Chain A
Amino acid sequence: MLKYAFRRILGMIPMLFLTSIVVFSLAKLMPGDSLSGEIDPRNTDPKYIADMREKLGYNDPLPQQYFHWIGNFVQGDFGKSTRFKIPAAEVIGERIPNTLLLGLSSILITYILAFLMGSYSGRKPYTLGDNIIGGLNYLGLSIPSFVAGVFAIFLFSFTLGWFPSNGSIDIGVTEGTLDYWLSRLHHVFLPAVVLGLLSTASYTQFLRNDIIENSRKDFVRTARAKGTPERKIYNVHILRNSMIPLITFLGFDLVAIISGAIITETIFTYPGLGQLFLDSVGTRDYPVLMTLTMLFSFLTLIGNLVADVFYGIVDPRIRLE
């Protein structure tokens, strides 16, 4: 297993190299640069802008620019944010805890709800309960997050006043105190619920359908013939088999936890990586943008690797060598 994981990690290097070319090309294909995004051309000397372009190397041939960037990148220098004037790594590092908190709590909500609803529906398919769960799920699936987010802010923040509508922390609390953490949870709750509820649907229906399918398998009949109680048949024999296809999602989730939710974070003005990503596009902050994209690509590859390793653990038929 370790050898397998090591080989896969080595295999990522050429993948990441190709990704970097794509990321760089896409960034360069975008109209404008950090100078046109940040500076008002009406009150700045055009010659100064042109000089700065020359100085920053924006006029160099593209391959040269690429090798300059990638050369620094592999040495751990991700460039300096043109907007915040501090290293891109620092800008991103500041946002990661927020995004992790939001990502983890929303995924926890998704997993718990999907597990409960999926197991119930799978065990009692085509009943009233299953139909209600199915109906709610399709409702959740069909509501876009920007609608659900705005609605949640309107109802729970403005009308009821239960939760804050933006930010990740109250002003004036001291870091490390209980109040600080409670305030963070208070802020993350609404976006996490919106995000978590909306992605529950696919998990639930997947789990449900897989349980139904597996409950018709021959090995379930064998388990019954052994006198295994019905509860154990579902919770052990069927569930273990039904978890296998869900592991595919787990790989994606690993990325989703970090990459954040661009739309939800923006609506709740929650300072996470998703919001940073969108802002960086708006301000042409290429160093941050390219670093983020490379980070997400790397995590996608890692996520796939983790999923594959998990397959090997859950399903003995899959051997990793």
Chain B
Amino acid sequence: MNPEKTRIKEVPLLDVRNLETAFDIDGTDYNAVDDVSFQVKPRQIVGIVGESGCGKSVMSLSIMQLLPKGIGKVKSGQIVFDGINLEKMSESQINKLRGNDVSMIFQEPMTSLNPVFTIGYQLQEVFFNHTIISRRNARLRSIALLKSVGISRPEKIVDEYPHQLSGGMRQRVMIAIAIACQPKLLIADEPTTALDVTVQAQILELLKGIQEVNDMSIILITHDLGVVAEMCDEVIVMYAGKIVERTDVDRLFHNPKHPYTTLLLGAIPKMDEQEDRLNSIQGIVPSLINMPQVGCRFANRCPKAMPECTTITPLLENVEQGHEVACLLFDTSKPKEEMR
């Protein structure tokens, strides 16, 4: 094992157990996240990968308790953060954690900041929410924070409005807001998707640098496997609301098991090969309403599908130490109980 791994303590910082998050569509609940369990250890960077609509963002919003009210809700399961069950907490207790111990960066830096308040105001708000601090000190600290996320002229930017900044700058401001109180866990929901490639690399480098300095854990949600390879210790591959594979980053790239993971890796264009067409996975993720309730959800797109794939629901099981896959191809105990 590489030395990076041995550094990581075994007590999980975040323990998600059998999480089910449902959306209410015309009076019926549809699970966007279905029976998902995983752990994030201190200082670990966990990547969550999957196509659009596979439940990555919904899961992260569930952890933050930020699901749209009245539409989405956590139906069952537990989210234990630092020994506290988030599902049992009141709104005001959650507010004490949000921005302080757990924080989040969103996909859209262009719309994630309030257009009518200055950068300084929006940054200082985190301090005022969680600490007792004078206005002067809050201002000084926010200038220092802006500097630490690589914004030049922070004394000036602090008094500017979001529309005066570029996308990359805004995402840096979002990161500054997220790390202001030195959280233990940072959830980054596609933090670089809306940015251009050179800025993407800078933002990722910045995140990694902060993670090392602040000793925090990161859940990095992305659909970019290149980002995963560069950043993550562990990778979770999700498909249609379920985890299909989970392992460390080396094994994912060198020994992927689940056919979906294999196809995802195959879809990365290779620089050294001449290809006329880009590889893609046929079909689309089934919509929430048409989700197959029995069998593997990937079966209809899977090139290796067997007849029993549509009748038996595969469970996430260890194929080797630290490598879990939910696929009948790797099923060791043949007779499977059906989920529903």
A residues at B contact (CB < 8 Å)? 216-219, 221-230, 237, 240-241, 244, 314-317
Contacts and interface: CB of A to CB of B under 8 A. Distances in A.
A218 B112 contact: yes
A102 to B, nearest CB: 34
Interface string B41-71: 0000000000000000000000010101000
Question: A222, A224, A230, A237 — which one has the most chain B CB atoms within 10 A of its CB?
Answer: A222
A222 B117 contact: no
Question: A225, A240, A314 — which one has the most chain B CB atoms within 10 A of its CB?
Answer: A225
Overall SS of chain B's interface: mixed
B177 A222 contact: yes
A225 B103 contact: yes
A221 B129 contact: no
A219 B115 contact: yes
Minimum-distance CB pairs A-B, first 7: A227-B99, A226-B99, A227-B98, A218-B111, A219-B114, A316-B161, A227-B95
A223 B64 contact: no
A189 B108 CA distance: 51
Contact of B98 (A219, A226, A237, A315): A226
A93 B269 CA distance: 80
A310 to B, nearest CB: 13
A216 B125 CA distance: 20
B132 interface: no
B126 A227 contact: yes
B114 A226 contact: no
Interface string B92-129: 10011111100110101001111111100010011001
Contacts of B103: 225-226
Contacts of B113: 219, 222
A262 B103 CA distance: 57
Contacts of A216: 68
Contacts of B130: 227
Nearest to B96: A227
Given A226-B129, A229-B95, 11 more contacts: A221-B66, A221-B106, A222-B177, A226-B103, A227-B95, A227-B97, A241-B116, A316-B116, A316-B118, A317-B115, A317-B161
B99 A225 contact: yes
Contacts of B108: 218
Nearest to A221: B66
B163 interface: yes
A223 B114 contact: yes
A315 B125 contact: no
Contacts of B129: 226-229
B163 A219 contact: no
B174 interface: yes
B117 A217 contact: no
Interface residues of B, number: 33
A225 B180 CA distance: 12
B163 A228 contact: no
Contact of A316 (B111, B163, B174): B163
Contacts of B275: none
A316 B115 contact: yes
B128 to A, nearest CB: 9
A218 to B, nearest CB: 4
Question: A223, A228, A229 — which one has the most chain B CB atoms within 10 A of its CB?
Answer: A223
B10 interface: no
Contacts of B112: 218-219, 221-222
A222 B95 contact: no
A225 B98 contact: yes
A315 B99 contact: no
Contact of B116 (A223, A227, A229, A240): A240
B106 A222 contact: yes
Given A219-B111, A219-B112, A222-B174, A229 B99 contact: no
Given A226-B129, A227-B98, A228-B125, A315 B92 contact: no
Contacts of A244: 116
Contacts of A227: 95-100, 126, 129-130
B4 interface: no
Interface in B258-296: none
A104 B335 CA distance: 80
A244 B65 CA distance: 30
A315 B66 contact: no
Contacts of A221: 66, 106, 112
Contacts of B104: 225
B91 interface: yes
Interface in B74-100: 91-92, 95-100
B96 A237 contact: no
A227 B111 CA distance: 18
A228 B95 contact: yes
A217 B117 CA distance: 15
Contacts of B126: 226-227
Given A218-B106, A229-B92, A317-B163, A224 B66 contact: yes
Contacts of B178: 225
A217 B116 CA distance: 13
19 contacts: A216-B68, A218-B108, A222-B112, A222-B113, A222-B114, A222-B177, A223-B125, A225-B64, A225-B99, A225-B103, A226-B126, A226-B177, A227-B129, A229-B92, A229-B129, A316-B115, A316-B118, A316-B161, A317-B163
A241 B97 contact: no
B114 A237 contact: yes
B188 to A, nearest CB: 12
A226 B126 CA distance: 6
Nearest to A219: B114
Contacts of A316: 115-116, 118, 161, 163
